Amino acid sequence: MQSKVIQIDQVGGPENMKLRHIDVSEPDKGQVIIKNEMIGLNYIDLMQRSGMHPISFKEFPATLGMEAAGTIELVGDGVKAFNIGDKVSHCMNLGAYSERMLIDANKLILLDKNTSLEIAAASTLQGLTAQYLLNESWHLKPGQTILVHAAAGGVGLILCQWAKHLGARVIGTVGTEEKADYALQNGCDHTILYSKQNFPDKVKEITDAKGVDVIYDAIGKDTFSKGLSCLAERGRIVCYGFASGPIEPVDITKIRPFSGSIATGALLTYTKNSNERQKNANQLFSLINKGVLKININQKYSLEEVQLAHRDLAGRKTIGSSILIP
């Protein structure tokens, strides 16, 4: 059985990604073959392609991609929880930029009949990220105020909607007026245009100098240090990404006087256990199917257009979620 894949022979720029056809091995014990019908595009893909992410490739050529949704085509011995024809999604497993994929069955998420493959591919990784940020990194309570950086991105839009559903006041930073309007339509109460406004000053203005209870920061270097001054007493900054680069060393004495705290987050630690992963995914997709969360898929690319997709995402030309179609 053959599959189209996107591979690299070395880390580097988008031009390193090549469309190839490879043979897919028969499933061994505990494995399945999935036909990936929709593939998620995430910033982690860019970081891995460029060699900036700690989840690195063990050998080359390497197939990119960390998220997809599709149907099971073949099932190996010993697989009892899944059957041929089941709709599934998966994330945090290298190799998703492929038409077909051999994968351990215990890494899959079973989808119900109400969840489309398109929605699952666009929201599994980003939605499960939002899930742990709101429920594990900080237990968000009604009436609390949060600051979401990159509020018009894939994770950002889900975070804003989910936080609003939980009763929070939501402030979001964005890069353009268009993205500000979009964020306001998807859960944000206030937006800050970081290209024209100093976000710590605006946060103090919006909160009457009280600050925010929690900051969700996937930007890193460009926002982290400034964000410390935005925290309320006993507030927390959660750094779950480093799009602008690693953060500088932190002087903890700057946040000790108001009992501030710093947390980090990595989705991989919340997806290793299959029962926990399925439970969290069920919660996510239930909110999506009820209309509480809207997954905004505003960019669709063919697998052959993957270089363009990476350039658009890196250039901050995208809004919401993006998918690749094999």
Q: Which domain holds residue 319?
A: 2-124+274-325
Average confidence (pLDDT) per 10 residues, the chain, 326 residues: 96 97 97 98 95 83 97 97 98 96 98 97 98 96 98 97 98 96 97 95 98 97 94 97 90 91 95 96 98 97 98 96 98
The β-bridge partners of 321 are 297
* 279 and 171 co-located in one domain: no
What's the pLDDT score for residue 133? 98
Residues 6 or more apart from 125 whose CB is under 8 A from it? 40, 42, 44, 66, 67, 91, 92, 267
Contact 96, 89 (CB under 8 A): no
Residues 6 or more apart from 246 whose CB is under 8 A from it? 220, 221
* 257 and 294 co-located in one domain: no
Domain count for the chain, please give it.
2
d(CA 224, CA 218): 9
In a domain, 129, yes or no: no
**CA 317 from centre of chain:** 17
Dihedral of CA atoms 212, 215, 221, 222 in degrees, nearest 10, equals: -50
d(CA 244, CA 218): 9
In a domain, 137, yes or no: no
* 188 and 159 co-located in one domain: yes
Encoded tokens for 189: 């109460």
The CATH number covering residue 213 comes to 3.40.50.720
Residue keyed to tokens 């500088």: 248
Task: Give the end of a domain, one of 241, 264, 287.
Answer: 264
The CATH number covering residue 37 comes to 3.90.180.10
What's the pLDDT score for residue 302? 98
What's the pLDDT score for residue 293? 98
In a domain, 130, yes or no: no
* 154 and 242 co-located in one domain: yes
What's the pLDDT score for residue 57? 84
What's the pLDDT score for residue 254? 85
* 155 and 245 co-located in one domain: yes
In a domain, 186, yes or no: yes
Contact 42, 126 (CB under 8 A): yes
In a domain, 86, yes or no: yes
What's the pLDDT score for residue 258? 94
d(CA 276, CA 282): 10
* 8 and 31 co-located in one domain: yes
CB atoms within 10 A of CB 194: 18
* 9 and 78 co-located in one domain: yes
* 113 and 178 co-located in one domain: no
* 250 and 314 co-located in one domain: no
* 76 and 37 co-located in one domain: yes
In a domain, 131, yes or no: no
What's the pLDDT score for residue 109? 98
Percent helix, strand and coil across the chain, each rounded to 5?
A: 35, 30, 40
In a domain, 176, yes or no: yes
* 10 and 94 co-located in one domain: yes
For every residue of 151-173, DSSP letters joined together read TTBHHHHHHHHHHHHTT-EEEEE
What's the pLDDT score for residue 53? 84
Residue among 210, 216, 205 at smallest CA distance from 263? 216
* 202 and 291 co-located in one domain: no
